[in-house]
Amino acid sequence: MTTTTTTTTTLYSWWGFMYGLMMGSLIWKCGSCFEFEHSQPLPLQDWNNNVTFKAAAAFAPPLVVGLTLVNAAASKGAVCLDGSLPGYHIHRGYGSGANSWLIQLEGGGWCNSITKCVFSKKTRHGSSHYMEKQIPFEGILSNKAEENPDFYNWNRVKVRYCDGGSFSGDSQNEAAQLYFRGQRIWSAVMEDLMSKGMRYANQALLSGCSAGGFSIYTTLRRIPAFISKNSQSQVSQLDISGWRTLRYMFAGVVRLQGMQKNLPRGCAKRFNPIMCFFPQRLIASVRTPLFLVNTAYDTWQIQVSLAPASADHHGYWNGCRKNYARCTESQISFLQGFRNQMLYAVKGFSRLKKNGLFINSCFAHCQTERQDTWFSPGSPHIKSKGIAESVGNWYF
């Protein structure tokens, strides 16, 4: 078996999901050359509400792929929050891609308290009983060469997310009947895929969106040696009230799921273990090549950790959260400060020739799973290159 040393990040971006905080002026090109394209942010665009483009885009109906449950997982305790079986969707590769594998990790946020996890276990992010039995494969998962030129004929897998902790926990709460078994789920899914041909892979790419992109950092030490990665990032940043909402959220996840023992030892010795759950700390121990796809104005992070309703006591950000065109000058300045912090956080990462980045200035989230942002005539471009082309150039 030949092995590769390539890896992808979040395409969830550094958000981690696995798709996070830094997208605007750092770019990667030519496989090893990093440069700053802009010293100022690009014009802001709300890709989530780009109605004009969506209406004009004439994409063919996507391939729909069924859910596969991992039946052997139960005996290993590899179960979702509610104790149900984990699962994934797979579409087989062919031709030149018959022995190539792309693993996409689903996102879905985190549950950082018993109350939230009890709620989650009655949703698709906590139980396979609520998962869609079929899902469309679009963007990086598309089976059409005109939509996904580099990976369309690979074995493409979407791993469902149902542990609430980025495949990183290994504990349980008997009183609430909650199972935090992310690590076991990851191992069980990998074993199942190896039995279905992945052990013969000659090249592979691990990718993720949002919390799935974040999972890449936490699973790197537990994957077959031949897999390379693609992920997302997140940065610890003060919210509009001066509180660290994201740090508080991650603290709950780490403690609830007993992750302290699973975090990189080198990081845990230097920092509070909670800080070692942030990608900019985790990434220091990663040796595999990574590619970050992220927007500098990630909509999830704006809504949930930078300007959440809980921090906006007087409703000052209501209009901006609902329509970014209505953000005031001071609000845009705050968001640009967030962008600058993200770019600073990836400076060291960007100096390594094995890594790559695509950081744009759209209001968006999970750009690799959407056809309109992954590869289309109107998708985000930096110096005439879109996301799909940039990732492909870096990988190959």
Catalytic status, residue 128: no
CA 64 to chain centre: 21
Q: Please check whether residue 374 is in contact with residue 387, taking contact to mean a CB–CB distance below 8 angstroms.
A: yes
List CB contacts of 200: < 8 A, sequence separation 6 or more: 1, 99
H/E segment holding residue 293:
strand 291-298
Question: What are the distances in angstroms from CA 364 to CA 22, 62, 79, 224, 244?
Answer: 12, 21, 31, 31, 22
CA pair distance 303, 164, nearest whole angstrom: 19
Which ranges of 244-345 would DSSP assign to H, the alpha helix? Answer: 245-256, 265-270, 279-282, 299-301, 318-322, 329-345
Tokens standing for residue 253: 């996840």
Q: Which conformational region is residue 197 in: left (phi greater than 0), alpha (psi within -120 to 50 degrees), or beta?
A: left
CA pair distance 284, 267, nearest whole angstrom: 8
Catalytic residue among 210, 236, 305, 376: 210
Catalytic status, residue 365: yes
Catalytic residue among 82, 170, 239, 298: 298
Catalytic status, residue 298: yes
Catalytic residue among 91, 228, 365, 376: 365
**Residues involved in catalysis:** 210, 298, 365
